Homo-oligomer: A and B are copies of this chain.
Amino acid sequence: MKRVVVERKILQRNDEAADIIRKRLAEKGIFALNFMSSPGAGKTSVIEKTINALKNSFRISFIDGDLETDRDAERIRKLGVDVVQINTSGACHLDANMVLKALDKLSLECDLLIIENVGNLVCPASFDVGADKNIVILSVPEGDDKVKKYPVMFNVADVVLINKTDLYGLLEFDREKVISEIREIKPDAEIFEVSCKTSAGFDAWLEYLRGIVPKEIL
């Protein structure tokens, strides 16, 4: 019981910080995406391709959350966007206070802020980081039973990207079952089926983003 109270306090403090983030971003006219998934589902690859496609239309900043290493941040820095690395030193998710501190290190002269959360299909779902949209990636090799097994994550998803669809057919994965289970848990989630390898499905995903991110330079 005591533990539940402690957790509630932690989450309450987190929500307060998330509200500050939301306010600060709104003042600057910045739209924020929070990418979440299991380790290896393809967060960094999807973000890399997305930035490459949009960087001439939007000014983009990137916050990378990782337990250790700055491998992902380095990949994205090469694309020429403003990057801040958060090393959580073992913590299993980003929280709003970490993101708030990271904001101070960014110029915030951008239209789109992309946040890559720690690879974890459980804990990040409970911590609002002040983003406008939560993007959850599920990759084909993880299997088609994951939606019902990790409902908390799919319940906070505004968008689900089913990634590595180039492996449809090669691996057992009932896409209709997955899509219907997502719809059951989160009826209004947008669903896109994509492959970073073949670029299949990226047009629809990018068109969706162009429709929701408010400001375009060009």
A66 contacts B by Cβ under 8 Å: yes
A39→B152 contact, CB < 8 A: no
Flag A75-93 by CB within 8 Å of B: 1 or 0 each: 0000000000000001010
B119→A67 contact, CB < 8 A: no
Which chain B positions have C-beta within 8 A of A183? none
A142 contacts B by Cβ under 8 Å: yes
User: Chain A: residues with CB nearer than 8 A to chain B?
Assistant: 3, 6, 10, 38-40, 66-69, 71, 90, 92, 118-123, 126, 139, 141-143, 145-146, 148-152, 164, 167, 170
Q: How many copies does the complex hold?
A: 2
Q: How far is the CB of A92 from chain B (nearest CB, A)?
A: 4
B38→A148 contact, CB < 8 A: no
A40→B141 contact, CB < 8 A: yes
B146→A40 contact, CB < 8 A: yes
Q: How many angstroms from the CA of A66 to the CA of B141 in the assembled complex?
A: 19
- Which of B92, B119, B142, B149 is in CB contact (< 8 Å) with A92? B92
A68→B148 contact, CB < 8 A: yes
The answer to whether A122 and B123 touch (CB under 8 A), given A66-B149, A151-B67, is yes
Q: How many angstroms from the CA of A38 to the CA of B122 in the assembled complex?
A: 10
Which chain B positions have C-beta within 8 A of A123? 92, 120, 122-123
